[in-house]
Amino acid sequence: MAKDVLCEVNNCSFWANGNKCSADKIYVVSHTGQTADSTKETDCKTFEPSEL
């Protein structure tokens, strides 16, 4: 399992210094069913916008 999860979405409430994700769990889905051929076909459902 990944030790560090990186994220560059600064307005996510789980974003932390060093582009780290501080969420306890990560949920990623595919736009095309249960498989994906590229990152463009996926979304991170863990994202929650932060209150800036």
Residue 9, classified by CB atoms within 10 Å of its CB into exposed (0-12), middle (13-18) or buried (19+), is: middle
Specify the pTM.
Answer: 0.80
> 28: alpha, beta or left, given left = phi > 0 and alpha = psi -120 to 50?
beta
Q: Residue 3 has what pLDDT?
A: 85
Please report, for the chain, the start and end positions of each structural domain, with discontinuous segments joined by +: 1-52
Q: Residue 52 has what pLDDT?
A: 64
d(CA 41, CA 17): 27
| Closest-CA residue to 22 (of 30, 32, 13) | 13
- pLDDT tens-place string over residues 5-17: 999 999 999 999 9
d(CA 9, CA 51): 13
